[in-house]
Amino acid sequence: MSRAPLIVFENVTKRYGAVTAVDDVSFEIGAGEFFALLGPSGCGKTTLMRLIAGFETPDSGRILIDGQDMAHMPPHARPVNMMFQSYALFPHMNVARNIGFGLVQAGLPKVMIEARVRELLRLVQLDGLGARRPDQLSGGQRQRVALARALARKPRLVLLDEPLAALDRKLREETQFELMRLQRELGTAFMLVTHDQDEAMVMAERIGVMQAGRIVQAGSPRAIYEEPATRFVAGFIGEANFFEGVIERVEGGRCFVRLNGSGALAQALFVGAPSASVTLVVRPERMLLELMHDESAANLTGVVLDSAYRGDREVAQVRLADGSMVRVARFAAEAAMLPERGAQVRLSFAPEAAWVLPA
């Protein structure tokens, strides 16, 4: 990371009784970065965010914001603002007073507050709605008010807790791009907390994948998709087929892996010790599939169980001879259609399509 770190976690642990919600986590968020914390529910991502906001204190480890230890810094003194999942708009205040709340606390003069609120209303395209009450707004408008309120104090970092969860699908996609535009224009660091991998992939520059209180991998969306660090990451980000096998030999920068079950010999661009057990990860869209004519030539063979047309792509489930399932996807724009249900097919993948994990 080239930018100076804005948030630094050093071996932070947070326990609730016997449950370790955040387990020895160390990571950084750069100034102006769009970072996504991605993980299934209960993985500790919300706790991690609340640690940054100051609503929880770590049991051990340090959290630094701009190089300053946050150990004894109460939430109201931190240069961080949060957009709550429920939006948490104050129901007894109108939109303008909601947005201006943080500015009033900062003790700004009234004229400046009014000017800033107008500016923020324009920024989130809610001009003229300042006098409305939150219960007179649509879900999308409420989301914008919550965002404007979180941006009002010009924080160094904005925490977004599942910001799009309450919106319908179409509005969600629009809002994703809207958030990205705002983040670019303002240059403020955003941390998005979500369980939705699409959301994280679309918006974030860098994703931290969390599992059971730990950040198992942090990197660009491409790195996380193409080079997952663990089987969990591979399975959580997009779909993945896993083939287990043993390295037979290594030749010219690639290894030959004898797959368990089918006994097929697969290749991967990987140099590992011979006789080591490995797992090959192959994304469905990188599986090659052809109708089988010559039975003797193929050794990764199977039957198409289901195939579905999904507009932009087609997906199929193939049951291999040894009973395991493989998912195959193909972009609909590609000429050939996937074979129909019941067809005998042969599967393969190119050496560069396989990502190798230690078994």
Partner 1 sequence: MSKPSFVRRAALLFGFAFLYAPIALLALYSFNASRLVTVWGGFSTRWYVSLFENEQLIASAWMSLRVAFVSALLATVVGTCAAIALTRFGRFRGRLAFSSMIYAPLVMPEVITGLSLLLLFVALDIPRGFWTVVVAHATLGMCFVAVVVHARLITLDRSLEEAAMDLGATPGRALLSVTLPLAAPSILAGYGLAFILSIDDLVIASFTSGPGSTTLPMRIYSQVRLGVTPEINAISTILIAMVALVLVAGLALGLTGRGRRA
Contacts of 242 (CB under 8 A, 6+ apart): 231, 234, 235, 279, 280, 281
Number of residues that bind partner 1 (CB under 8 A): 24
Taking each helix axis from N to C end, the angle separating 139-151 and 169-186, rounded to the nearest 10 degrees, works out to 20
Q: Which of 23, 30, 84, 171 binds partner 1 (CB under 8 A)?
A: 84
Q: Name which of 208, 289, 230 is nearest 27 in CA terms.
A: 208
Interacting positions 138-197 with partner 1 (CB under 8 A)? 149, 152-153
Q: Is 283 in the site for partner 1 (CB under 8 A)?
A: no
Query: What are the structure tokens assigned to 244, written together?
Result: 């287990």
Taking each helix axis from N to C end, the angle separating 95-105 and 110-123, rounded to the nearest 10 degrees, works out to 130
Q: Is 86 in the site for partner 1 (CB under 8 A)?
A: yes
Burial of 206 by CB count in 10 Å (0-12 exposed, 13-18 middle, 19+ buried)?
Answer: buried
Closest distance between partner 1 and the C-beta of residue 23, in Å?
A: 23
**β-strand 60-65 against 5-16: which pairing, if any?**
antiparallel
Q: Is 88 in the site for partner 1 (CB under 8 A)?
A: yes
Closest distance between partner 1 and the C-beta of residue 71, in Å?
A: 17
Q: Is 74 in the site for partner 1 (CB under 8 A)?
A: yes
Which span sits near partner 1 by CB under 8 A: 59-67, 71-79, 233-241, 348-356? 71-79
Residue 198 has φ and ψ, to the nearest 5°, of -60, -45
Give me the 36-55 binding string for partner 1, x by CB under 8 A, dash otherwise: -----------------x-x
Q: Name which of 260, 265, 266, 267 is nearest 245 in CA terms.
A: 260
Closest distance between partner 1 and the C-beta of residue 6, in Å?
A: 17
- Quickly count: other Cβ atoms within 10 Å of residue 236's Cβ: 22
Q: Is 17 in the site for partner 1 (CB under 8 A)?
A: no
Give me the 114-143 binding string for partner 1, x by CB under 8 A, dash otherwise: ---------------------x--------
Q: Is 26 in the site for partner 1 (CB under 8 A)?
A: no
Which span sits near partner 1 by CB under 8 A: 17-25, 28-36, 80-88, 347-355? 80-88
CB 216 within 8 A of CB 209: yes
Which of 54/284 has CB closer to partner 1? 54
Residue located via tokens 């609730």: 16
- In single-letter form, the type of residue at position 38 comes to L
- The binding site for partner 1 (CB under 8 A) comprises 53, 55, 74-77, 80-82, 84-86, 88, 90-92, 101-102, 105-106, 135, 149, 152-153
